[in-house]
Structure formats: structure tokens, C-alpha cells
Chains A and B, each alone.
Chain A
Amino acid sequence: MSSTSLTLGRAKLRLPRRQVPVLATLVLLLVMYGIGVSQYRAFSNVQVVFNVFIDNGFLLVVAVGMTFVILTGGIDLSVGSVVAMTAMVSASLLQQGLPAQVVLVVALLIGPLLGFLMGCAIHFFEIQPFIVTLAGMFFARGMCTFISGSSIPITDGFWTTMSQQRIGDPQGNFVSISVLIAFAVVIVAAWTLAYTRLGRNVYAVGGNPQSALLMGLPVGRTRIAVYTISGLCSAIGGILLSFYTLSGAPLIAVGMELDVIAAVVIGGTVLTGGSGYVFGTVLGVLALGVIQTLITFDGSLNSWWTRIVIGGLLFAFILLQRLVGIRYK
């Protein structure tokens, strides 16, 4: 009993418990890609993969921000509206003739500011994140129509350059600048979560907020920070979307927050917080993108099939997380 009792509590299955959902997503992704390649000859073209990134770069950036929020056990429903609002503000300011640099700075400040305010409301008044960000969602969407009832085209030189610039290899495959920006965001976010105090506090708060408080961690500051980060990511996402569409439209990105949440969850981040990786989110976004591509390649399927498949996957992954969690307990 003497010294052995101290090692009694050792886990038997500690191998990749926390990595299981991420691995599952990776496998899923490879399987879907394999199906695509085996069914359609053109699918093996590298550009298909690049296009997934080009079409979903803004989604990826927003999902990275959402990963921070969900890791603390929160939720941010405002992201889609903030994306749209950022695009609208940019388009509107450019239309009025402001220089691109000024527009960028203003557009990139609005999102984080809204996020900061929502974070403060959540922390100081102890209101459910769901309600606070729902209010933020309505507010930002309302602002879009307030700015303009219809879509505003963007003709600014900087924007068109960013939109059309191709960075490619000699074979003619290319990605857009947005993709590189998205990658940069992913890398900074992954580093922040893994190597900074803020990042580690995010995991601690998600794991057990009471304990985090008693361990002396700045729980309130961390909470406010994640909503601010999510706001910033939404703002960047909005800019990328306006690069992509070269316009600001009041009803763009409606329901995007749900796609984003789905991508984060399929990427293995647990909705109750404390467990997950940015890398998983990348895989989650890719999974969504590949499903879309598959359905486009098929041609005979209605695009709503994307939704149906995502719904099924989401359910399967939440189930998987539960099972892993139960086994762990």
C-alpha cells in the first residue's frame, strides 16, 4: 500500500484522448478527399484544394476567433453580422472617397470594439454569452441596413488588387492574398493559444472557471479578451469577404455564425470549453469546404445537401466528443 498507492490513480488510456476528435476530423477529411479523387478526375488537381482555401479563407479566420471563445466555454453569435457590418462599413467609406488605409483601420477597429463591449457585459453583469452576442448580432445586422439598404460595390484600387492578385506556382496553381492572411491569422492564433499566458488562461477558464479564479488567474480579463479577439477575427474576416466579393451587402453572411460554430465543433473543440486546437478548426473548415466542393462536382445535387451533410457530421462529432468524454470519466 505504501508507495504503490500513490501511483494507483494513473490513467490507463491517456494516449491521444484529447486528440481523438481532431484525428477523427483528419481521417474524415482524407476519406472525403479520397472519394472525390476516385469519382472525379479533375478533383486531384491541386487547384481544387487551393480553391477550397480561397473560397473559405474568411470563414477560417472567423472560425479561429470562435475557437478562442468556445475554448472558454462561451459562444459568439455575432460573428456573421460583424463580418457583414465590416464589409458594409468598408464599402461605404470607400464610396465616400476615403483612402484605403484609413478605411482598413476603421473597419478593423469596429469589430474588436463591439467584441470588447460584449465581453464586458458578459463578465461584469454575468449575462449569458448567448444572449449578449445575440443582441450584438441584431445590432450589427441592423447597422448594415442602416448604412445602406442595398449592396455597395467597391472599385478602390487597393481592394481590386487584393482581390485579383494571384500568388502561384509555375504549373499555374494559385492562391489569393486572402489565403495568406488567413494562414497568418491561424499561425498567430495557434502560437497564442499554445505559448502565451493569455492562451493558457483561455484553457484554464474553459476547464474550470472557479478553480481558475482561485488559482489567481485573471478570469474576467481572459473572458473579455476572447470576445475582443473574436471581434477582431470577424473584422478581418469581413475585410477578406469584401476582397472576395468586391462589395458590401447588408444581407451577406447571414447564418454564417452557425457554419463557423459547426466548423469549430467538427474540428474537435468541445463546446463546454477547455479542450481543442486551432489546427482542428482548420481541419473543420476544410471539411466543410470539401463537402461543398464534392457537391459542386456532382452537379446533380442541390446545394442544400451541403447543409444536410454538415448537420449529420455535426451530430456525429458531438456524439464522438461525448463518448470520448464518458470513457474518460
Chain B
Amino acid sequence: MTDSRPVLTMTGISKSFPGVRALHDVHFRLFPGEVHALMGENGAGKSTLIKVLTGVYDTDGGTVTLGGTEVSFAGPMQATGAGVSTVYQEVNLCTNLSVAENIFIGREPRRLGAVRWGEMRRRARALLSRLDLDLDVSAPLGSYSLAIQQMVAIARAIDVQARVLILDEPTSSLDADEVAQLFRIMRQLRDEGIAILFVTHFLDQVYAIADRITVLRNGQLVGEYPTAELPQLTLVEKMIGKELDILEGIDEQPKRDVAALEKGTPLVAVSDLGRSGAVEPFSLAIHAGEVVGLAGLLGSGRTEVARLLFGADRADRGEIAMDGQPTGLSTPARAIERGIGFCSENRRAEGIVAELSVRENMLLAMQAARGWLRPIPRRRQDELVEKYITALQIRPADPEAPVRNLSGGNQQKVLLARWLITEPRLLILDEPTRGIDIGAKTELQKLVAQLSDGGMAVLFISAELEEVLRLSHKVVVMRDRRMVAHLANDDSLDADRVMQTIASGSHREEVNR
């Protein structure tokens, strides 16, 4: 594959936003018939590079060459027309349109100006069957899960006679089977000669599929390496730019004594709480200083549990007690008042206010808890923001930068800071590490451990079992919108056993109930 000429070359690409230098003199090449992973921490400039390539952003400098000719796309449509298709991390389709339309809109088969619906549906079915998907193509896209929607987005991308296929974190919302299916399709497309640019945070996936790796750091090129010649540890070092001992740091944490923690009144005790259609009634006790991991597949009801605890959804049965006192957590405002913080998994839609600055975003929850009549003194604001920007290593370290201009991982950190500032007694973290890089992930895990040492209770929701097991004192397993097991995280508990519980839905291993 390396003997041919690159289909795509990017030379000396630079791009700045107000207050942020996103890319500086970056080079990138892509050969036909290869899967090329673009790696880097959050804010390293991966997304920006892709958006420059597809014409979403103008460049400040540098050239893009496609198939030997210099190109400058005015927008994604032009890029697609030239054979450069993109599938984004967040599914960018219209859920109100049918599956078939989402695949073909903008290039529907037409006769005399009229869309040929029958032909379009037929072609959609054919295309989806190539991806092993059996969907009702005339159903609205919104009636399918996020994972299916992602597959439809890929179908849309490959239907165009694509020479270059860009997959920007396509796997972050897929489960293992779906990832395997995606990889099968990627290999198939690669063998057909398509060049695939693959962005992901899952290192295992990179080594499973990528032929070559380009690493970016702080908007600059670190280097381009064949996957076989770059061991995983070296890759991580190149990404974060320092020797990696912090990775092991967490594992060395002694497992604390769960029994001691669980003595006394639980901070939050939930009994028989449920909401029909969202989650079956469940009971749960969380003690001060305890990290409770919530494991389960996507859509198993993890987020629904969190939303009930936070009062974002109204429970239609059951009770919540805090410190032994029954309490109604009927609205998020009440929950915040009682010292509960909730970092949503859906940071763009439910968390970050993109137009506001880093400082303003961080202070939102604290201000809400204080009430609007008692503004936080500016000096206190600056102190707090400064503290958390340093503590969480938010980049750029500029309190006044609009959050919109930050990368996904840094937005996540801002969101986390927002709740940490309120010093909650129970912090609910819903997929806090999804879509963020290994360095930030480790920092975040360390932080959670520290917080719980300091007496904060944490409900930690994550699809990554290793992460859940590393941090939690107790693991609660969700399956099909039902809480199926409470497992004490002792030496006998490992990922396999949690997996089995998820798969079988066994009640036998329950403790405390």
C-alpha cells in the first residue's frame, strides 16, 4: 500500500480561533487502501484538522492536495462530491426523516426533478444489506437507537463514490458487536481501495484496525508511524508528551474497606424508585466516601437511574432518603440544594452552554445553588476558576475563552469543574470519560479516587468495565432497564464476572439486599 502515491496530502496546515491556536504547520498524508489513525489528546487538533479538510473551516495557511490536484473545499457537500466523506462522532442526521432519506438526501435518485421514492428505498435496502443491517428504510431515523443511526451515517458516507472516508470517533456509542461489525466494513472498504482516516480514543481499536498512525499534540504534528513499529506505550507517551507513570498510579490504590464505609446511615438511600417506561423500580444505598459503579450496556437504563436521582425525571413510585430523612428530589434545583451534582453524558445538549465562557460555565451550578440574588464576588470567581483550570489541566487555560472553542474533552472537564465547585456530597458522573483521551481519562479517574477519599460519594456510570472496576467500591449492574445485581468490588470480582452478570441478568450474586 505504501508503494502507491498518497490520495490525500495536507501540507503546512495552520488554523487559529480567537484565543486558541488549534493547528500549527501540520502535515498529513493518506494512502489509498489504508486505515490511518489520527491520534492525540483532546484539544490536540484532530477535529479541527478534519474540519479544515472537509471545508467546514477555512485554513489560515497550508495546502490540501487530493489525487494530485490542490483543492480547497467550500463545504462538506463539495468535499463529498470530490470523494471525501465524513462520519462524525455525534450522529449528524435528521431524525425526523426516514432512514432511506437520510442516506440519500442531497443526491436522491430523480426523474424529471421528482424524487423516486421507490428507487431510493430499494437502493437504501441494498446498501444497508451490504452492512448487514435489516431496517425498515421508510421508518423515521429517530425510531432507531443511536448505534443504528451511526451505521446509517456510515452507509450515507460510503454510498458516495468515496475515495477518502473520515470516521471521527464513530465507535464511541457502539457496543462491542457493533464495533466488530464496523471494523468488518472498514476492512472491506479498505480492500476496495478506499483510504480511511480513523479517529478514536480506544487504543485497542487502533491496534486492531489501523495500518498507520499520525500523532498530533497541542495542534502540532508529532510524527507518522506504521502501527507495527509503534508500541502502545510509546504511542501514549507521544500523545501526552511525557513519560507515563500516572497510568499505573490508580491501580496501586489500596482497595478500601467497603464494610467500614457502609456502616452508618447511607448518604442517599433509594427504595423502590422507578419510572414506568424508563427504569424498573430499584433500591440503592450510597454512603459518604463510596464510589458506586453503574455498569451495563448502552440503553440498559443507566442514565435513567441518574436522571431519577437528580430529579431531572420525575419518579412515579418509590422514595429517596438523604441522611435517613425522606426527601423529595422532584427537580434538579432541589437536588442541587441537597448537594447532588450531575455531569450529563450528553454534554453538548444538556451540559455546556457553548456561547458562554469557561468561567461562566463553571460557575453556573454554584450560582444556581446560591440563588440569583447573591452574586459570587468576582475575586472569588477568578480564584475558583483558576483553581479548577489548573487542577483539571483545562486547555486553553483561559477563563474567558468561549467554551464552544474548546475540544470535547476539555468541555467535559469544564462541566466537571462546574459541579466540583459546588462541593457536592453526591456526584453523579454519567460517562465522564467517553470521547476523551487517555491522559485526561487517567487524570479524571485519579480525581474521582481523591474526591471519594475526601468523603464525597460518587455514582460512576461508564461503559468501560475496567474503569468501573478500578474505581468503584460496589458495582451495580443494569440490564434491560432493570437493576439486576449489586456486586461488592472485592478481589473475586473481575470484568468477566460483571460481563456474565450483564449477559445473564442473574440475581444470584446480589449483596446487601
A residues in contact with B143, CB < 8 Å: 9-11, 14
Of B134-142, B384-392, B436-444, the one contacting chain A is B134-142
Given A5-B178, A14-B143, A207-B94, residue A214 in contact with residue B88 (CB < 8 A): yes
Q: What are 10 A-B pairs at a CB distance below 8 A? A: A17-B140, A200-B105, A201-B105, A204-B101, A207-B97, A208-B94, A210-B92, A212-B94, A214-B88, A274-B94
> Which A55-114 residues sit within 8 Å CB-CB of chain B?
none
Of B107-115, B316-324, B450-458, the one contacting chain A is B107-115
Interface string of A1-28 (1 = CB under 8 A from B): 1110111111100100110000000000
Q: Which of B97, B178, B181 has the most CB of A within 10 A?
A: B97
> Which A189-217 residues sit within 8 Å CB-CB of chain B?
191, 194-197, 200-201, 203-204, 206-208, 210-217
Q: Flag if B105 contacts A208 (CB, 8 Å).
A: no
Q: Flag if B140 contacts A14 (CB, 8 Å).
A: yes
Q: Does A315 contact B (CB under 8 A)?
A: no
Complex: how many Å from CA A245 to CA B113? 38
Q: Flag if B96 contacts A6 (CB, 8 Å).
A: no
Q: Does A305 contact B (CB under 8 A)?
A: no
Interface string of B72-95 (1 = CB under 8 A from A): 000111111100001010011111
Q: Flag if B96 contacts A10 (CB, 8 Å).
A: no
Q: Does B353 contact A (CB under 8 A)?
A: no
Q: Chain A interface mostly helix, strand, loop or mixed?
A: helix
Of B21-29, B144-152, B369-377, B418-426, the one contacting chain A is B144-152
Q: Does A228 contact B (CB under 8 A)?
A: no
Q: Does A328 contact B (CB under 8 A)?
A: yes
> How many residues from A make CB contacts under 8 Å with B?
37
Q: Which of B76, B95, B144 contacts A215 (CB 8 A)?
A: B76
Please list the residues of chain B having a beta carbon within 8 angstroms of any beta carbon in chain A: 56, 75-81, 86, 88, 91-97, 101, 105-106, 108, 110, 113-115, 117, 132-134, 136, 139-140, 142-148, 156, 175, 177-178, 181, 299, 503
Complex: how many Å from CA A274 to CA B79? 26
Q: Flag if A211 contacts B92 (CB, 8 Å).
A: yes
12 new A-B contacts at CB < 8 Å, known A5-B175, A6-B132, A9-B299: A5-B177, A6-B133, A8-B145, A9-B146, A17-B140, A18-B140, A196-B114, A204-B94, A211-B91, A214-B86, A215-B105, A274-B94
Q: Flag if B105 contacts A9 (CB, 8 Å).
A: no
Q: Which of A18, A191, A197, A211 contacts B110 (CB 8 A)?
A: A197
Chain B residue at minimum C-beta to C-beta distance from A270: B96
Complex: how many Å from CA A328 to CA B95? 12
Q: Which of A7, A203, A216 has the most CB of B within 10 A?
A: A216
A residues in contact with B156, CB < 8 Å: 215
Chain B residue at minimum C-beta to C-beta distance from A208: B94
Query: How many Å from the CB of A322 to the closest CB on chain B?
Result: 16
Q: Flag if B97 contacts A14 (CB, 8 Å).
A: no
Interface string of A224-268 (1 = CB under 8 A from B): 000000000000000000000000000000000000000000000
A residues in contact with B110, CB < 8 Å: 197
Q: Flag if A204 contacts B299 (CB, 8 Å).
A: no
Q: Flag if B115 contacts A195 (CB, 8 Å).
A: yes
Complex: how many Å from CA A275 to CA B97? 9
A residues in contact with B181, CB < 8 Å: 6
Q: Flag if A217 contacts B178 (CB, 8 Å).
A: no
Query: How many Å from the CB of A225 to the closest CB on chain B?
Result: 15
A residues in contact with B134, CB < 8 Å: 6-7
Complex: how many Å from CA A67 to CA B96? 16
Given A5-B178, A215-B76, residue A207 in contact with residue B88 (CB < 8 A): no
Q: Flag if A214 contacts B148 (CB, 8 Å).
A: no
Given A200-B105, A215-B105, residue A206 in contact with residue B96 (CB < 8 A): yes
Q: Which of A201, A208, A210, A211 has the most CB of B within 10 A?
A: A211
A residues in contact with B96, CB < 8 Å: 203, 206-208, 274-275
Given A9-B148, A197-B115, A216-B77, residue A203 in contact with residue B133 (CB < 8 A): no
Chain A residue at minimum C-beta to C-beta distance from B77: A216
A residues in contact with B101, CB < 8 Å: 200, 204
Chain A residue at minimum C-beta to C-beta distance from B51: A214
Q: Flag if A196 contacts B113 (CB, 8 Å).
A: yes
Q: Flag if A215 contacts B92 (CB, 8 Å).
A: yes
Complex: how many Å from CA A216 to CA B80? 8
Query: How many Å from the CB of B106 to the closest CB on chain A?
Result: 5
Complex: how many Å from CA A212 to CA B95? 11
Query: How many Å from the CB of B100 to the closest CB on chain A?
Result: 11
Query: How many Å from the CB of B199 to the closest CB on chain A?
Result: 16
Given A204-B94, A328-B142, residue A8 in contact with residue B76 (CB < 8 A): no
Given A207-B95, A208-B95, residue A217 in contact with residue B77 (CB < 8 A): yes
Q: Flag if A217 contacts B106 (CB, 8 Å).
A: yes
Given A1-B177, A5-B178, A211-B93, residue A10 in contact with residue B77 (CB < 8 A): no
Chain B residue at minimum C-beta to C-beta distance from A198: B113
Q: Flag if B115 contacts A11 (CB, 8 Å).
A: no
Query: How many Å from the CB of A278 to the closest CB on chain B?
Result: 16
A residues in contact with B114, CB < 8 Å: 191, 195-196
